[in-house]
Structure 1
Amino acid sequence: MINLFKQQPNLDDKNILSSSDACQEWGIEASTLRKRIDDFPYGTIRKFGTSWVVTREGMYAVFGEKRINRSYFSWKSKRE
């Protein structure tokens, strides 16, 4: 039975990211995120099928501030 009065999560929230989007924003590789799954606070990361979904709160808790200047993606694109 579905409880319509229970507050539902907002899946349009900009603080919910796919793992690939989160990795791009933080300048890390996907393997780095996967190795740190157990470090995320409860409720800030979840696997849906074969994809991980993460909150910005979880990313800040595990990886800290974004590394924009040292981004893997930025130096990779400069080399190509």
Structure 2
Amino acid sequence: MAREETVALAILDAHADTLNVLAREGRDFLQRSDVGQADLPRLLSGGVRTQVLSICAAGEELHGGDATLYAMAQIT
């Protein structure tokens, strides 16, 4: 008789621009949304247990201190 094995896999997503998008659009990471790359409810329901979120100062219009403030706003 064949033995059935179950394998549990850990899902890891190593890059998402979510923080940048949330900062620009003013959305809440904790609230489910039908737009954007990720939010916590969708990550959890999809079985993702690790998510690496990038922080960036996108766009040529941001320079020096403005770029730094924009990047810091994504992590606060």
Structures share fold, TM-score greater than 0.5: no
Higher helix fraction: Structure 1 or Structure 2?
1
Which of the pair has more CA radius of gyration? 2
